[in-house]
Amino acid sequence: MKKFLFALLALLFTFGIARAQENGVQMAKNAGRALALYAADPANNNAKLAEAKQKIDQALQTPEAQALVSAWQTKGEIYSTIYEKDLVQKQFNPEAKMSGDNDALESYKGYAKALELATKKYEKSDALKGLTSVQSGLINMSIFKYEAREYFKSYESSLAAVQCHDLLVANAQKSMISDTDLADRIYFAGYCAMLANRHMEALQAFQDIPQRGYQMKEEVYEAMVTCKTELGDDAGALAVLAEGRRKYPDNSGLLFIEINQYMKEGRLDELTGILKKAIEKEPDNVSLYITLGRVYEGLQQRERAAQNTEKAQEYLQLAAENYTEAVRRDPQSLDAHYQLGQVYYNQAAILTKELTESGNTDEERFQEVMALFDQALPNFQKAESLDANDLNTLTALAEIYTRKEDGLAAEFQKRLNRVKNGGKNTASYFR
């Protein structure tokens, strides 16, 4: 009796496997039939397209359907049809939403797998026709996803468009992506991955450009430096930066990355020369003057700490000159006005500290401090007129008016406290 029961159990188990296999294959066939019915009369058989998608997704969860070229080909055709249907609606109404998530990508995956498994000539031909038709969809979806700020999905479609190109070219088929455009397509894929904070995927895309024999453009070097830095590979980032600066010495993006690196490392003496050359090339770039002014302030602090008073004063004067030039070139630059004001403000603060520590009550030295505050004041007033809620500017104004025993001290302390407490000043005091 036990033997009979075990035999019956084995028979049922075998029958169950056969039924599951039959179901997987049958579901794939049924998906194809549903798609055919939809194609015959799209207006009246719209539900058949949804049925086709449901059945092919279920079928491809089974190992038997996964081994079928026809199942993957059917997936490619179903998802391609969904994408094309949505695209027609979007052409009539640009605001129309795609019904799926990334249907062109899913279609590509189906055709690519069908090509991989194909053993017969017609199977390979059908898969290549599908890849040829879906490539434009991948390119379009990469743009749609980018515009929707779904950056990683844009990356996935962009990368698939490049992979589709590779498959077509390898099989002597025409690709929509020309050889001259391929590097830009790869860069766009990597850029989208970088925007999605997927720096490893971005870096892999960027590295593919030289591996294919293309020369890297300036923006590729910039992006690679960013990715390597984010991944903690500081040495690698510096190596890429050095190579990029050698190839593109006039590129401002790489220049600013180098400037920031020098600032980080405290290489201030070297920075002055780099910034002066940069100003020669971009004389209207206000940020260069402001950066050079900050470098001179850093050098001033170093010399003051070493008690080289004369040299410190020289650097401070150079800082003021660069901030003044920045103001001249852009009178609406908040940073330029604030930085120029804080040159005099800091001098006054240093002198005040020295007088306090020495106990010096010399009226002449006191007037010297107040004269420095008076030099700083117009610059802070202008900065406040440009931004009524800048904390640094409000702090400086409150401090100066307090030192001057001016009634405006209370006004700016109130404005400062309002911003510190999360509020906003609705209008500038100085207009």
Instruction: Write the pLDDT tens digit of every residue in 165-199.
Output: 999 999 999 999 999 999 999 999 999 999 999 99
What tokens were used for 388? 């009524």
pLDDT at residue 138, as a whole number: 96
The reported pLDDT for the residue numbered 6 is 39
- What are all long-range contacts of 166-173, with beta carbons under 8 Å and residues at least 24 apart? 167/112, 167/115, 167/128, 167/131, 168/128, 168/131, 168/132, 168/135, 171/115, 171/124, 171/128, 173/128, 173/131, 173/132
State residue 304's pLDDT score.
87
Looking at residue 124, what is its pLDDT? 97
Q: Where are the domains of the chain?
A: 21-157, 355-431
Distance (Å) of CA 149 to CA 129, 146, 152, 153, 155: 31, 5, 9, 9, 11
Residues in the chain predicted with pLDDT less than 70, given as ranges, are 1-22, 360
pTM of the model: 0.71
In sequence order, the 6+-apart residues with CB closer than 8 A to the CB of 375 are: 344
pLDDT of the residue at 216: 94
